[in-house]
Amino acid sequence: MTWFKIDDSFYRSAKVRKLGNKRVSAVGLWTLCGGWSADNLADGFVPWEVITDWDPRRLLARELIRVGLWVETERDGEAGCQFHDWTDWQPTRDQVIQRRKSDAERRARWRDAKRGNGVSHGVTSDDNEPESRRESRRDTTRDTTRESQRESHRGSRLGSALPDPTRITTTTKTPPPLRGAPPPAAPPGPSSNAGRGTRIPDDFAPTPEMLEWARALVPAIPIERTTEDFRDYWASKAGQAARKVDWNRTWKRWLRKTSEDMPTNRNRNGFHLATTDQRALQAQQVKAHLAAVRDNPPELPWKGAS
């Protein structure tokens, strides 16, 4: 694994300042292409085919060329851009390949020594180690650490049963029971459906008390048909919302809601319109009143006048 290195004072360099209001987007393109070149060991060269994936109109690339961060060039018959002073800041392709070869040889010696007697681990002293070798070892350590973190994260996502050496765990041993002591109580299992609700029973029907409640508070609701609609709706509904703790209360609420949603029986003048039951009751009242008048006719005021 290689690293694309950026100096921490790069943001205030003259070339970056010359980018003006395109500074953020142009430096973003510059960074993406730098990572591509380092990853592909291209020594700072980036083909136009790669650049146009992020900058289709080449507007940002032209700005980088204008301020001197890039140089338009051609390599092996392919046109592209070259990072300015790449080798002053980044390792070359040959250096990376040589470092990888040295790292592989060092790891092989370490494995051989470990298999031999387990005493020598092939670790050299930093005092006698060249600077390039120390830098290579630091990069390798960072690479190894990052790879181990990735593997640990990937294992945790897949539910690996392997222990994580970076995580401190404690275990508590249960002491053996005393002789003659009663066995320990079993841990409480998951509660029943209390608090979680159940689906509507197939034979759900209102009790006599519920029917009396409905006739008193929602007399205009057809109870039998509304109960059938209530039962069919909840029996066909899926998911957690179809589970209720108290179906009797749910039925009452359903009837109250149905009563509230019924259109108000008023005409355009605001007077209540009589329902069929109300009209029948009014007709009976009128009939009884007429019968009472026929049996006991009232005295008319003009009959007694002479």
Q: Which whole-number Å values give the CA distances from 98 to 133, 136, 224, 279, in the listed order?
A: 11, 10, 88, 103
Tell me what pLDDT residue 191 has.
47
pLDDT at 284 over 60: yes
Using the predicted structure, report yes or no on whether residue 125 has a pLDDT greater than 50: no
CA distance 147 to 40: 19
User: Among residues of the chain, what percentage have pLDDT more than 90?
Assistant: 45
90-110 mean pLDDT: 92
pLDDT tens digit sequence for 165-176: 555 555 556 666
Question: Which candidate, 129, 61, 128, 140, places its Cα nearest to that of 99?
Answer: 140
Q: Which helix (H) or strand (E) holds 71?
A: strand 70-75
The Cα-based distances of 101 to 133, 142, 168, 300 in angstroms read 12, 17, 36, 130
Which token pair is 182? 């009663």
- pLDDT at site 132: 54
Over residues 300-305, the mean pLDDT reads 59
Whether the per-residue pLDDT at 292 is higher than 50: the answer is: yes
Distance CA 112, CA 247 (A): 74
- Per-residue confidence band for 160, with pLDDT thresholds at 50, 70 and 90: very low
Residues 6+ apart with CB under 8 A from 46: 33, 36, 37, 80, 81, 82, 83
Rounded CA-CA distance 46/166 in Å is 40
Minimum mean pLDDT among 3-12, 44-53, 69-78: which range? 3-12
What would the two tokens of residue 31 be? 């960074």
pTM above 0.85, yes or no: no
Higher pLDDT, 266 or 285: 285
Return mean pLDDT, the chain.
79
| pLDDT on residue 73 | 94
Q: How many residues does the chain have?
A: 306
Please compute the mean of the pLDDT values over residues 65-87 and round it to a whole number. 94
**Predicted local confidence at residue 1, as pLDDT:** 65
- Residue 255's contacts (CB-CB under 8 Å, 6 or more residues apart) are 214, 218, 221, 223, 226
pLDDT of residue 147: 60
Residue range 2-22, pLDDT digits in tens: 789 898 889 989 999 999 999
201-231: pLDDT as tens digits: 999 999 999 999 998 898 888 999 999 999 9
Q: pLDDT tens, 241-281?
A: 899 999 999 999 999 998 888 765 555 554 555 567 667 76
| pLDDT (mean) for 75-95 | 92
Task: Look at 124 and 300; give whichever has higher pLDDT.
Answer: 300
Indicate the domain borders of the chain: 10-90, 94-152, 208-261
Q: What is the pLDDT of residue 293?
A: 78
Q: Residue 280: its pLDDT value, please?
A: 75
Query: Rounded to an integer, what distance in angstroms lies between the CA atom of residue 252 and that of residue 258?
Result: 10
3-state secondary structure of 115: helix
pLDDT surpassing 50 at residue 140: yes
- pLDDT score of 60: 95
Which residue's entry shows tokens 């050496």?
Answer: 165
Radius of gyration of the chain (CA): 44
Instruction: Please choose, from the candidates 41, 51, 97, the residue with its C-alpha nearest in 3D space to the C-alpha of residue 78.
Output: 51
